[in-house]
A and B are shown apart, each in its own frame.
Chain A
Amino acid sequence: MRTPDLIDTLANSATPVRRLRPPVLRAALWLLMAAAVLLLLAVAHGVRPDLSTKLHQQIFVAGMVLALATAILAAIAAFKLNLVDNSRWWALLPAPALALWVSTIGYGCLTDWVSIGPDGIRMGEAIRCFATLLLTSVPLSLAMLIMLRHAAALRPTAVSVVGGFAVAAITSFALSLVHDLDATIMILIWNLGTAAIIAGLASAFGRQALAWVASRVLPGLFQSPIR
């Protein structure tokens, strides 16, 4: 297809579109959704029995607060990055909170390892933990993927990774709230693994996804390669 013909086709198919809301507002919407998931989880599962004593431990409280901060900042950064004319440096917004949060994880793991020994983790708890992890991260990842789909052809990797951090931090917060087991490393591996898969899929199929979306808008136009 010649470029002038393409322009004609695009112009003729231009229907009114609704502008995206500001990124911070969209991030807030996603965080609200995350809060709803956490609430449902807490109601269905109940919070961990030793929560009141745990809340007196500084390291636990610091970990929770930093996880939450990471989630909020990463969500804002992901929605900012989703708009292509925003600077790439937004990706660094959650970095300080993330670094501090990860440092508390390292400490927690070490003390747990020392206190309960290498075979102290019971299998049953780990599986229940994993179920909570899925219950939190799958709906939130899906929601984020749908909300950030515009980045598929533009910045798939950065957006998916930063979004993955947001989901990971929320999931970790949820697990610390309902399970008395430090599973943060498992969560990070799982969520960043998911983020990596999503980023890989997006960069591999970004163009195809775009062509698919475009084919919904302009049926019959997209026989690749377009010439």
Chain B
Amino acid sequence: MPERRQPGPHLSLVKADNPPRPGEQVDWSKRMALAQGGDREQYRALLLEIEPYIRSIAKRCFKYPADAEDAVQDVLLTVHSVRHTYDPQRPFAPWLAAIANRRVIDRLRSETRKKAREIELTLEHESFSREAFAHETFSQAATNHDGIAERALHEAIGKLPPEQRDAIRMLKLSEMSLKEASRMSGRSIAALKVATHRAVTNLRKLLKGGQPS
């Protein structure tokens, strides 16, 4: 592809749904054409220039900066691996926008799937576990000087219905994964999650002096 720099901005390239500012993408199409030919400096400049644009898409879709950063890197890797599918005759921005949107949507979907099968630890879970099980196993903790709360918790766990008790012991005390616990107990992951959730609710009630439901 012969390089022919034309003066002035190529406004015709701005056609994406969420186009970056016109001045920024003047040379993207040309840079990519040169990058396809193996020009590393042009490629580096292109990647540096498109990164903020990709980040602006990712930031809109992900709550946590780390997730947005992962998405940015995913899009950059995808652009890299499919860079030969770009046709310099066509505008660059829609091509990039399409890739970015596809990858972001895919990541959001897999995140939703992950959330559906995992329980996110809240602050309550954390403080609970820190107080009760921070450094030692339960039996050891019960014997040491600040073991009163732990003993109360131990007793509360003992009062739970058997399936909830087993779930909380496997998942929280032995720190098994849902999969391991499911294998050990022969119960489904969904059932274990439900049991754990009920157990935590019941423990809260028990420690406040109530009865398990």
Contact = CB atoms under 8 A, between A and B. Distances in A.
Contacts of B78: 153-154, 210
Given A10-B77, A19-B84, A84-B98, 15 more contacts: A3-B72, A8-B44, A10-B80, A11-B41, A11-B43, A84-B82, A85-B98, A150-B82, A154-B78, A210-B77, A214-B80, A225-B70, A226-B70, A227-B66, A227-B70
B90 A84 contact: no
Interface residues of B, number: 37
Contacts of A210: 77-78, 81
Interface in B56-87: 66, 69-70, 72-74, 76-78, 80-87
B40 interface: yes
A19 B32 CA distance: 11
Interface stretch (B99-107, B153-161, B173-181, B186-194): B99-107
B47 A10 contact: yes
Contacts of A19: 36, 84-87
Nearest to A221: B77
B154 to A, nearest CB: 37
A7 interface: yes
Nearest to B55: A3
B85 to A, nearest CB: 5
A11 B49 CA distance: 13
A84 B2 CA distance: 25
A8 B106 CA distance: 25
Given A16-B37, A84-B85, A226-B73, A11 B99 contact: no
Interface in B4-44: 35-41, 43-44
Interface in B153-211: none
B131 interface: no
Nearest to B50: A7
Interface of A: 1, 3, 6-8, 10-12, 14-20, 22, 82-85, 150, 153-155, 206-207, 210, 213-214, 217, 225-227
A173 B174 CA distance: 61
Contacts of B70: 225-227
Which A-B residue pairs are the 9 nearest by beta carbons?
Answer: A16-B38, A11-B44, A17-B84, A85-B95, A84-B98, A7-B47, A14-B43, A154-B102, A85-B94
Contact of B106 (A207, A213, A226): A207
B51 interface: yes
A3 B80 contact: no
B123 interface: no
A220 to B, nearest CB: 14
B84 A6 contact: no
Contacts of A8: 44
Nearest to B69: A3
B85 A150 contact: yes
Given A3-B76, A85-B94, A154 B44 contact: no
Nearest to A216: B81
A20 B85 contact: yes
Contacts of B35: 14
A94 B1 CA distance: 34
A218 B101 CA distance: 24
